[in-house]
Amino acid sequence: MTEKHEIRPEQSVELLKHLHILTRDGKLNQDSRRKLKQVYHLVQFIEPLLKETLEKHQDINLVDIGAGKSYLGFILYDLFFKNRAGAAALHAIETRPALIAQARELAGKCNFGGMRFHPLEAAQALESTDLPSRIDVVTALHACNTATDDAIRFALGRKAQFIVLVPCCQAEVAALLRKHKGQALANPIAELWRHPIHTREFGSHVTNVLRCLQLEAHGYQLNVTELVGWEHSMKNELIVARRTPQPARHRAARLQELLGMLGLEEELRERFFVPA
C-alpha cells in the first residue's frame, strides 16, 4: 500500500514509481523518503514564486540547471505545470545524454508536453538559442561545484525574477585557500582554514557567502535558510533570491573587500563579477 501521508494528494503515484522514488507496490525506502522530503520542501518555496509570476504574465518559463534525473522538474511539473498546458514551460539543463534520453522518454509517457530537455553544460546555457529570452525562475538543486555559479551567471544574464539554489560540493575556493595557505598564515584569520577539514568546510561556507554578496550586488533580495533537517542532507543551504530594480553598491564593495582579504581576488574576480 502506498504511504499516502507522505505523498501530496495531487501527486501522481505512477510518476513516483517511474522515478523509482516509490517501489512497484508503492513503498518508500529510507533513501527515497529523504529525497522526496527534500524535493517537496523545495517545491514549497518555488510554488509561490510561480504563482506570483503568473499574476504578471500569461506564461511562465522555469530553467533547472544541472537537472540530473530531473526529480525536481518532474515532480514540480506534475504538481504545478501540467494543468497549465501551453502557458508553462520547464526547461531542464543536463550534460549526460543517457539522462536526457530517459527524461524525454518519461515526459512522453506522462504527456508532459511543456517539459524540454537540453544537453548543455551549465556554462553554455546563457548562449543557448533554444531557451526562451525571458526566464522567470532559475533553479539549481545540488548542481556540483561551479555549476551553481554558472546557474547564477545564467540567471543574472537573463534577468530572472527568481533564483532558487541548493549549492553542492564547492571545491574551488577551498583549493585556492589551500594553495595560498603558507602566505595567508601570516594573518591570524588564516587559522579559520589551517586544518584540512576546516579548509574544506570554510571554503564551502565562503563560496556561498560570495554568491550571496554577488546576488545582492546585482539587486536581489535574499532569503538564506536550510532546506531540510540535517538528518536528511549535509548539503543543506537554500538560497532564494528575488530581483529588485536597484543593485546594492555597498554589497559589491564588500564582496571585493572579502576577496582581497582572503587572497582570492585575482583568481575569482571574473567568477564573482559585479555591476560596474
> If residue 243 lies in a helix (H) or strand (E), which one and from where to where?
strand 237-243
- HSE-up of 4 (CA within 13 Å, CB side)? 3
Q: CB-based contacts of 68: which residues, under 8 Å, 6+ apart?
A: 94, 99, 142
Q: Check residue 243 and give its pLDDT.
A: 97
Q: Which DSSP string corresponds to 27-64?
A: ---HHHHHHHHHHHHHHHHHHHHHHHHHTT-SSEEEEE
CA distance 271 to 266: 10
Q: Check residue 35 and give its pLDDT.
A: 85
Number of domains within the chain: 1
Q: Check residue 153 and give its pLDDT.
A: 94
96: domain range? 41-268
Mean confidence (pLDDT) of the chain:
89
Whether residue 141 lies inside any domain: the answer is yes
The yes-or-no verdict on residue 118 having pLDDT over 60 is yes
Whether residue 28 lies inside any domain: the answer is no
Whether residue 11 lies inside any domain: the answer is no
Whether residue 248 lies inside any domain: the answer is yes
pLDDT in tens, 140-149: 988 777 889 9
Q: Check residue 85 and give its pLDDT.
A: 67
CATH number of the domain that residue 184 is part of: 3.40.50.150
Q: Check residue 97 and give its pLDDT.
A: 93
Q: Check residue 120 and give its pLDDT.
A: 92
pLDDT in tens, 6-19: 889 999 999 999 99
Q: Check residue 230 and give its pLDDT.
A: 45
Whether residue 35 lies inside any domain: the answer is no
The yes-or-no verdict on residue 231 having pLDDT over 60 is no
Whether residue 13 lies inside any domain: the answer is no
Provide φ and ψ at 226, rounded to 5°: -95, 150
- In this prediction, residue 185 has a pLDDT band, given cuts at 50, 70 and 90, of confident
CA dihedral sign, ordered 39, 24, 118, 47 = negative
- In this prediction, residue 122 has a pLDDT band, given cuts at 50, 70 and 90, of confident
pLDDT in tens, 22-42: 988 888 888 888 888 889 989
Whether residue 30 lies inside any domain: the answer is no
Provide φ and ψ at 6, rounded to 5°: -100, -5
Whether residue 175 lies inside any domain: the answer is yes
Bigger pLDDT: 64 vs 27:
64
Q: What percent of the chain has pLDDT over 70?
A: 94
pLDDT in tens, 152-167: 999 999 999 999 999 8
The yes-or-no verdict on residue 254 having pLDDT over 70 is yes
Q: Check residue 156 and give its pLDDT.
A: 95
